Structure 1
Amino acid sequence: METKQENVIPTDYAEVMQKSYIDYAMSVIISRALPDVRDGLKPVQRRTLYDMYELGIRYDRPYRKCARIVGDTMGKYHPHGDSSIYEALVVMAQDFKKGKTLVDGHGNFGSIEGDGAAAMRYTEARLEKLTQDVFLEDLDKNVVDFMPNFDETEKEPVVLPVRIPNLLVNGADGIAVGMATSIPPHNLGEVVDAVKAYMKNNDISVKGLMRYLKGPDFPTGGLVVNKDDLLRIYETGTGKLRVRGKVETVKLKGGRQQLVITEIPYTMIGANIGKFLNDIASLVENKKATDIVDISNQSSKEGIRIVLDLKRDADVENLTNMLYKKTKLEDTFGVNMLAVADGRPETLSLKQVIEHHVDFVFDVTTRKYTTLLNKEQEKKEIQEGLIKACDVIDLIIEILRGSKNREQVKKCLVDGVTEGIRFKGKSSEKAAQKLHFSEKQAAAILDMRLYKLIGLEIEALQADYAETMKNIAIYEDILNNYDSMAEVIMKELDQIKKEYGTKRRTVIENAEEVVYEEKKMEEMEVTFLMDRFGYMRTIDKSAYERNKEAANAENKYVFNCMNTDKICIFTDNGKMHSIKVADIPLVRFRDKGTPADNLSNYDSAQERMLYVAPLASVKENTLLFVTAASMCKLVSGAEFDVAKRTIVSTKLAEEDSLIFVGSADEMEQVVFQSEGGYFLRFQKQDISAMKKTSIGVRGMKLAEGDKLDHAYLLESRQEYTITYHDKPYVLNRIKLSKRDSKGTKPRI
């Protein structure tokens, strides 16, 4: 028995990985994440709309369950997760995300405030009239190419015959591999005007197009306040828009006022509205927006309405500027006009987007009128045959009566073959031999009904023939004359603008950079309190003096500091977190504080506090750092005067951790205590002064498996007693040794 020889092809692993990754990346870019410049749709959107078209879910027919649409799309055209298809369907129905909705949703399709849509089994949908008229019309006229679906059981369009630049009208966003697209929506009427301007003058500049298309038109309204940057953005296809919400001032009785936000930036859609309200609440809590008395979100289906009630003497202008500066009421929208053009991803200028679309529309229109012309020419051939037949109808009846079968009649009508046909006379036979109808004409004559011989019917046939000839002339003129085709396209665009155009919602203007003058905090000394659970608060210094005994007994850390200072928290994992004293609630003595976790990056579940002190004190002192592995060093406190909220306070070896951080300036000696019960006392000056990025020097020789448990800083003149094995133990009496010694065990 012969053994089958294996054909092994040695391949470089790096080459296989590179090719596989590039193939995957291109698949994501072309087949999933980026829209096509021609119809402005991603594959999932295109397939969903085409499936709805195929299912007959038109704008004038009843809604159908979204689950049916999603399931059908997934089974026929888009073999991916149902959630991605439903999400695409939902977005196409949300009027606050799209310039023009493409799907008419019935049921809960989410809200502008970030509420999700109901499950697909509850919601229903159908096509919008715009989608049917502008996106899917003429699909039956061979206007676009079709390709096999994933299992080659169906055909799907490569692109939809969209008659407007949907990439501009509805915008796009998508993240591919190594690239992303972000295109803002625009006003349909302005886009149509820009397309017509380009068709009239192909050499028009981007600046010229912007006389018609002023800039983005977001469905949420708002303002674009960097008008001067728009030309550069549309010329390069990339840039940043500065978008703001619309704020109105309402005067109430008694001299009080309200700030009412009626439009929000497009970037605030969804959960960012809740974040915006929380940001305002934080500004009020931190005493930065003291003019705000109350915040209420009165938004409804009618639109956005966020009301801020103000004090009587509020500085409205400064407050508005603070909202622009400190919250998302002013934000940036990054533009990156990336789309698939000619099969490859490309960043396009405004003119290039319109250029690609116009070329596509001309191609679609050419294919449409070629199909219509072919149909009219077929109709003309049959009509000419029927008119000619009416003139010799008596002869045709004689042929029919004298023939044995349909085939015999057909041969006589097409080729003049009279064999086997009985005629009344020779003249009839000679006339029959001269007949020369085409195959289609002969078939039409044989299918013709007798009532068609009525005089009025013959007149109608001749009128139809005249109409057909007129249509042929029109279609040939459109196909052979650029201006005629352009006129047809522009008429269609005018009709679309008339029926579906809306007023601009977003204001385009130039606005000065917001200037917000933060009110200077009145500098004062406060007392900082932190209990053993990590809850911190500040109280008035006089309140501390009145409750000094209770404050010291109930709290782990108690010290005075300025309200303009910072609090430094050193932890066992080698980090230092800083908190502005101004951010710590200033409360009454008996009020509960706020956890350090809420005010900084400190995580009580992952790290343990070792030392807490005001920055003013830290930066004027020298700190001693000691680790479990007995590494120690002295670091100048000035190194911790940084702007960052969290920094690495010391470098740690693997598996090592800090056990002690303390102010060492006033101290002269150090005592180390190990878990094994060894104590070592030596002079502080034996420890090297180093940078915070160094590991340090060894302080005590540890036995195998032993590690440091405590470190103490001592003044040589002051006695320092600890409890060891339930007995007092005076640290000053430990034998004074050198650093890097083994230490001694107490005899207790």
Structure 2
Amino acid sequence: MTLQANYEQIPLKEYAERAYLDYSMYVVLDRALPYVGDGLKPVQRRIIYAMSELGLAASAKPKKSARTVGDVIGKFHPHGDSACYEAMVLMAQPFSYRYPLIDGQGNFGSPDDPKSFAAMRYTESKLNPLAEVLLAELGQGTVDWVPNFDGTLEEPSWLPARLPHVLLNGSMGIAVGMATDIPPHNLREVASACIRLLDDPDATAADLCEHVRGPDYPTPAEIITPRNELVAMYQSGTGSIRARAVYTHEDGNIVITALPHQVSPSKILEQIAAQMRAKKLPMIEDLRDESDHENPIRLVIVPRSNRVDADEVMQHLFATTDLEKSFRVNLNMIGLDGRPQVKDLKRILSEWLTFRIDTVTRRLNHRLAKVERRLHLLEGLRIAYLNLDEVIRIVRTEDEPKPVLMARFKLSEEQTDYILETKLRQLARLEEMKINAERDQLEEERAKINVLLKSPAKLKGLIKEELRADAAKYGDDRRSPLVQREAAQALDESALVASEPVTVVLSQKGWIRAAKGHDVDAEGLSYREGDSMLATVKARTTQQIAVIDSTGRSYSTPAHTLPSARGNGEPLTGRFTPPAGARFDAVAAGDNDTRLILATDFGYGFVTRFEALTGRNKAGKQIITLGDGARVLAPQVSADPARDRIVVATTDGHLLMFSVAELPELDKGKGNKLIEIPKAKLSSGDERVAGVAVVTEGKGEITLYAGQRKLTLRWADLVEYGGNRATRGNVLPRGLRRVERIETTG
């Protein structure tokens, strides 16, 4: 006897292709992508349906999650319990779902760690009221039923959603060769767009964007994507969304109160702390997480001082951490034709409205059939009432009353069975009146249903009314504000440098370098042959350094970029392009608001802010106007112009002190006269201003240098040289009338 083989022999290549294609289609259609009708993946649909079958409505008492998961995987979804439970938890997390479908009791995770939920044996769950939108019309002939995996039960192919749930909660999934990233949206906005499309089928995606203004995430983080990019995204079905954290200022601290969707607070803290450890955030002193039940998100950033620009710091953090995050948008879903497709906003809403019209039509037809059946039964009952005595006689006397009644009164089998099953108490006159009233009511309902089914306009009107009702019942205000913001910009390198003291040294031949610390013997440093020290200034690595040349032009460069003082430095001509023949005469440092006194040896000067000396132009900018032969003096810092005094010394031994407030504050120019120098001596070069110094009223001292001699004058001594600006001043003691330089020493 020959046994017939029950297998097929095919090439391995063909088998592999077929197996992989089958697997791919299964993952695409039955696992990863949502259906446009109810917006659910199969596992989500089965969880919702199984919970409704367990009686876990919003008004019911919750049951153990393990019970629900057991029903789902035992009856409808033959896969792992952990994956099923995780899908269930996701639908219960208010920080993951814009409109949670499940009400979870117990530990269902936290924004800090969404997967930190307790095991299903510990948690309980039931459906949220919003699930009614998906389930309410399930038993009204609105869906097709298919056998479950073992053919012992039936499950719905889809749920009869009364709202476009595919947009409300969105979806994420990775299939084979494709993926989906649908962001959540605001219920009221989506319902409004559906109504607009019902009223105006020719409305474009751009028109619908007047209603659907953008995604609406569960967190109140700002959506900063420009309006035109949002419209383009909805027109093409692909794009990206940028969300940014929200922060406030409290007692000098920065308090972050909202994070972008799916961003963990602990990850943000880790990212900021990593930059702090790398010394890339010297302006931040401390970082705290003060989140609690009342404030789910409260991250506190403590600046190092009140001079730190908090907004600038946040712009840097937006650019370098997940405080600003980009979300990919790919509106890919299973359409009404059963095929996956990336759809634009109009296509999604149009297909859903087609789905909804079909659902409502099936619901009305189902109800019409029930009404007509009931009217049919009532008509038979009415005939029985009209011929009650005859009916009773037939029932009492006939062995088989059913065929006799059918023949005698021309009743259907269904009507006859209903009459025979009627209880005696329903034969009362009052019951007859109730039946007549019910018949009138049902006939009126049948007429209304027929009108709706025959009039597409009235059917659309019904759908619009239901959309408005659901939007009023379940809708809420937008959570994610749409805000126009400029792109975040990371701080440049200088802003991220640790603030350390340095002494900047400028040589006679224009070479510059920076030595660590402020206690530096600049004259003792090594110089190139024929070169020597010209000027020094104390600064910090976070500040800008400004140099002024012999033409009165100013140039600036970050202090931390200067070469170390271990070498000879570098020539400034490598950084800047001064006019031909110009030399560098002075150097200054400070913050933008630092006030400087700029003066020339011709005895003119003014007050300016350090910001006026800075700029990015390698050719510099004109800051001080110099007369023929005039030379700029070392700039002096004035911390408090109201209390500070300027001391001016000439090479001919004249000294004058007056208030800094007598000088004008200018951005550039020549300034006002500081001290009177006879024109003859000025033109002949016999007398110049040797230098200026700044002292504070009531304290401080200066030192004058004249050859090998020096003289230190304290405040009490300087009072004798006080006077008005532009006067001649008093004469210094004999032996110090050839002043070479002046310094503030206290």
Which structure 2 residues correspond to residues 118-137 of structure 1 after superposition, within 5 A?
118-131=118-131, 133-137=132-136
Task: Tell me: CA distance 1:412–1:120, structure 2 relative to 1, closer, same or farther (3 Å).
Answer: same
Is 1:239 matched with 2:234?
no
1:70-100 CA-partner distances (Å, limit 9, x unpaired)? 1111111111111110000000000001110
Is 1:335 matched with 2:309?
no
Contact preservation (8 Å) 1:228, 1:510 = no
SS at match of 1:332: strand
- Which residue of structure 1 lines up, in the alignment, with residue 18 of structure 2? 19
- Which residue of structure 1 lines up, in the alignment, with residue 74 of structure 2? 75
Max Rg structure: 2
Contact preservation (8 Å) 1:260, 1:306 = yes
Which stretch shows the higher mean deviation, 181-190 or 383-392? 383-392
> Matched residues in 1 for 2:49 and 2:436: separation?
40
SS at match of 1:333: strand
Is 1:492 matched with 2:486?
no
> Matched residues in 1 for 2:18 and 2:420: separation?
63
Task: Tell me: CA distance 1:208–1:452, structure 2 relative to 1, closer, same or farther (3 Å).
Answer: same
Is 1:447 matched with 2:421?
yes
SS at match of 1:140: coil
- Which residue of structure 2 lines up, in the alignment, with residue 385 of structure 1? 380
- Which residue of structure 2 lines up, in the alignment, with residue 52 of structure 1? 51
| Residue 10 (structure 1) shift | 5.4
Is 1:321 matched with 2:315?
yes
> Which of 340, 348, 356 in structure 2 is aligned with 1:353?
348
> Matched residues in 1 for 2:489 and 2:395: separation?
96
SS at match of 1:471: helix
- Which residue of structure 2 lines up, in the alignment, with residue 172 of structure 1? 171
| Structure 2 residue identity aligned to 1:487 | G
| Residue 156 (structure 1) shift | 0.9
> Matched residues in 2 for 1:279 and 1:450: separation?
81
1:400-440 CA-partner distances (Å, limit 9, x unpaired)? 34x133x2x22222112xxxxxxxxxxxxxxxxxx322222
Contact preservation (8 Å) 2:97, 2:169 = yes
Contact preservation (8 Å) 1:267, 1:333 = no
> Matched residues in 2 for 1:489 and 1:522: separation?
64
Contact preservation (8 Å) 2:280, 2:498 = no
| Structure 1 residue identity aligned to 2:240 | K
Is 1:283 matched with 2:275?
yes
| Structure 1 residue identity aligned to 2:16 | M
Is 1:480 matched with 2:454?
yes
SS at match of 1:141: coil
- Which residue of structure 2 lines up, in the alignment, with residue 669 of structure 1? none
| Structure 1 residue identity aligned to 2:364 | Y
- Which residue of structure 1 lines up, in the alignment, with residue 412 of structure 2? 438
Contact preservation (8 Å) 1:52, 1:127 = yes
> Matched residues in 2 for 1:446 and 1:524: separation?
103
| Residue 141 (structure 1) shift | 1.6
1:253-308 CA-partner distances (Å, limit 9, x unpaired)? xxxx121111111141xxx4222111212233333322322211122334311111
| Residue 524 (structure 1) shift | 9.7
Query: With structure 2 as the length reference, what TM-score do the two structures score?
Result: 0.65
SS at match of 2:266: helix
- Which residue of structure 1 lines up, in the alignment, with residue 298 of structure 2? 305
Which structure 2 residues correspond to residues 579-590 of structure 1 after superposition, within 5 A?
none
Is 1:362 matched with 2:357?
yes
| Structure 1 residue identity aligned to 2:370 | K
> Matched residues in 1 for 2:418 and 2:9: separation?
67
Which structure 2 residues correspond to residues 102-117 of structure 1 after superposition, within 5 A?
102-115=101-114, 116-117=116-117
- Which residue of structure 2 lines up, in the alignment, with residue 721 of structure 1? none
1:168-199 CA-partner distances (Å, limit 9, x unpaired)? 00010011111111111001111111111111
> Matched residues in 2 for 1:108 and 1:522: separation?
44
| Structure 1 residue identity aligned to 2:162 | R
| Structure 1 residue identity aligned to 2:485 | A
Which structure 2 residues correspond to residues 400-479 of structure 1 after superposition, within 5 A?
400-401=395-396, 403-405=397-399, 407=400, 409-416=401-408, 435-479=409-453
> Matched residues in 1 for 2:484 and 2:405: separation?
78
**Which runs of 5 or more structure 2 residues have no equivalent in the other structure?**
503-514, 520-540, 543-559, 561-746
Aligned residues: 503
SS at match of 1:139: coil
| Residue 399 (structure 1) shift | 2.7
| Structure 2 residue identity aligned to 1:206 | A
Contact preservation (8 Å) 1:267, 1:331 = no
Taking only aligned residues, the RMSD between alpha carbons, in angstroms, comes to: 2.5
Task: Tell me: CA distance 1:397–1:243, structure 2 relative to 1, closer, same or farther (3 Å).
Answer: same
Contact preservation (8 Å) 2:331, 2:342 = yes
| Residue 508 (structure 1) shift | 1.3
| Structure 2 residue identity aligned to 1:279 | Q
Which structure 2 residues correspond to residues 731-742 of structure 1 after superposition, within 5 A?
none
| Residue 370 (structure 1) shift | 0.8
Query: With structure 1 as the length reference, what TM-score do the two structures score?
Result: 0.64
- Which residue of structure 1 lines up, in the alignment, with residue 286 of structure 2? 294
Which structure 2 residues correspond to residues 477-626 of structure 1 after superposition, within 5 A?
477-520=451-494, 521=497
SS at match of 1:143: coil
1:635-665 CA-partner distances (Å, limit 9, x unpaired)? xxxxxxxxxxxxxxxxxxxxxxxxxxxxxxx
| Structure 2 residue identity aligned to 1:359 | T
Is 1:371 matched with 2:356?
no
| Residue 135 (structure 1) shift | 0.6
SS at match of 1:384: helix
Which structure 2 residues correspond to residues 139-158 of structure 1 after superposition, within 5 A?
139-158=138-157
> Matched residues in 2 for 1:440 and 1:364: separation?
29
**Which runs of 5 or more structure 1 residues have no equivalent in the other structure?**
417-434, 527-538, 544-562, 565-581, 583-748
Task: Tell me: CA distance 1:388–1:234, structure 2 relative to 1, closer, same or farther (3 Å).
Answer: same
1:145-176 CA-partner distances (Å, limit 9, x unpaired)? 01111111111111111111111000100111
Task: Tell me: CA distance 1:331–1:459, structure 2 relative to 1, closer, same or farther (3 Å).
Answer: same
SS at match of 1:105: strand
Percent identity between matched residues is: 37
SS at match of 1:68: helix
Contact preservation (8 Å) 2:172, 2:180 = yes
| Residue 5 (structure 1) shift | 6.6
1:659-715 CA-partner distances (Å, limit 9, x unpaired)? xxxxxxxxxxxxxxxxxxxxxxxxxxxxxxxxxxxxxxxxxxxxxxxxxxxxxxxxx
| Residue 542 (structure 1) shift | 13
Contact preservation (8 Å) 1:146, 1:156 = yes
1:424-472 CA-partner distances (Å, limit 9, x unpaired)? xxxxxxxxxxx32222222222222333333322221111110010111
Task: Tell me: CA distance 1:7–1:147, structure 2 relative to 1, closer, same or farther (3 Å).
Answer: closer
| Structure 2 residue identity aligned to 1:364 | T
| Structure 2 residue identity aligned to 1:135 | L
Which stretch shows the higher mean deviation, 461-470 or 488-497? 488-497
> Matched residues in 2 for 1:45 and 1:77: separation?
11
> Matched residues in 2 for 1:290 and 1:542: separation?
20
| Structure 2 residue identity aligned to 1:309 | V
- Which residue of structure 2 lines up, in the alignment, with residue 696 of structure 1? none
Contact preservation (8 Å) 2:268, 2:321 = yes
| Residue 522 (structure 1) shift | 7.9
SS at match of 2:255: strand
Task: Tell me: CA distance 1:55–1:308, structure 2 relative to 1, closer, same or farther (3 Å).
Answer: same
| Structure 2 residue identity aligned to 1:121 | R
| Structure 2 residue identity aligned to 1:368 | R
1:81-127 CA-partner distances (Å, limit 9, x unpaired)? 11110000000000001110001101000001015110011011011
| Residue 219 (structure 1) shift | 0.3
- Which residue of structure 2 lines up, in the alignment, with residue 258 of structure 1? 253
Task: Tell me: CA distance 1:17–1:448, structure 2 relative to 1, closer, same or farther (3 Å).
Answer: closer
> Matched residues in 1 for 2:152 and 2:412: separation?
37
